[in-house]
Amino acid sequence: MASHKRGEKRKKVKPKIKLEKTEDPTESGELSDDSVEKVVRKKKGKTKAPKKYIGAHVSIAGGIWKAVEASVDIGGQSFGLFLGSQRSWQRPAIDKTAAVKFQQACAQHCFDPAHILPHGSYLMNCGSPKDDVFSKSQAMLVDELSRCSVLGLTQFNFHPGAAINSSKEKCIKRIAEAINHAHKQIPAVCTVLENMCGQGSTVGGQFDELKSIIDRVRDKTRVGVCLDTCHAFAAGYDISSAGGLKTVLDEFDQVVGLHYLRAVHLNDSKGKLGCHLDRHEDIGRGKIGINAFRNIVNEPRLDNLPLILETPGRNVPESEGWERGHAASDRPSLAAAAGSIPVFSEPC
């Protein structure tokens, strides 16, 4: 994958980033799954032709607009990023000048908001049975969606939560409650649930748990799923075997619905199938193996989605709070997996 700066010859491109107004279904009744699928398909159908948008989680060190530059430098056409410090519940608001720089950089380098997926703070536990933690997590979710709005971004990814000493049913209800509350406070931004590895009391390791959360969200056009390959494999979904990816996607479609799939986190796994350990590995160097990722980048059902690496391929500043196993990119090995398929989109 080339690492040329795609914006150098297209500086006259006008900014494309804008927020879409979403009608509150609580005023007209909740939408059925069929209705949701039609709405979501329409919103996701912005690209001219099916393409793969591969990128990585990148650093915001030096200014949030630097994330765009970092993605361009590695040849990415999608990217993930944090929207603030991972070490504190209280964070300064995003400066307006920084927000403008971010939007200008995205426009210059042709990044569509649909291919940018901010990642939530690990401090959040929207399913916590502890009232103080739940209250802080709910407030942080509102803050994260607000930051997305300021930056002109349309979706936000986070780990659902953990039951701790409570039941998963109560945890699921609280997660949905936090999402519904955030949706009332901040318009338009879609909340994207990440599947988990099933470690401890975490919720979201099984597809039916994700569906249970979605079922309790009032505006279903504003909720989706990011499928993490390492988490899925660790939770027992075998994407490594022959035909495994097809089987897993078929099951996801049957249980959750593929129209809810908004993104994929591309990570190999240090642990074996069903280990319930969240240990990311470079593509092709883990237990999932290179063939699975070759299948992923050739899977048409994953066209037009951001495919974002979070592998230990290079170091990320400690200030990002991204531990070993949750770093940035391993482009060369993914390029090898992709072979000669047209990975990137046409110039904007």
- Residues designated catalytic: 87, 119, 122, 159, 194, 228, 231, 265, 278, 280, 310
Residues 59, 70: Cα–Cα separation, whole Å: 7
Q: Which of 109, 96, 132 is nearest to 16 (CA)?
A: 109
CB 308 within 8 A of CB 55: yes
- At residue 212, the 3 state secondary structure works out as helix
CB 314 within 8 A of CB 327: yes
- At residue 329, the 3 state secondary structure works out as coil
Chain-centroid distance, C-alpha 28? 29
Torsion 41-177-210-82 (CA) sign: positive
Indicate the residue type of 142: V
CB 135 within 8 A of CB 173: no
CB 264 within 8 A of CB 230: no
- At residue 242, the 3 state secondary structure works out as coil
Residue 27 neighbours by CB distance under 10 Å: 6
3-state helix, strand, coil in the chain (%, to 5): 40, 15, 45
- The residue written with tokens 């027992």 in the block is 236
Tokens linked to 279: 């240990």
**Cα distances (Å, whole numbers) of residue 58 to 47, 79, 97, 115, 251:** 23, 7, 20, 13, 31
Tokens linked to 242: 């022959």
- At residue 100, the 3 state secondary structure works out as helix
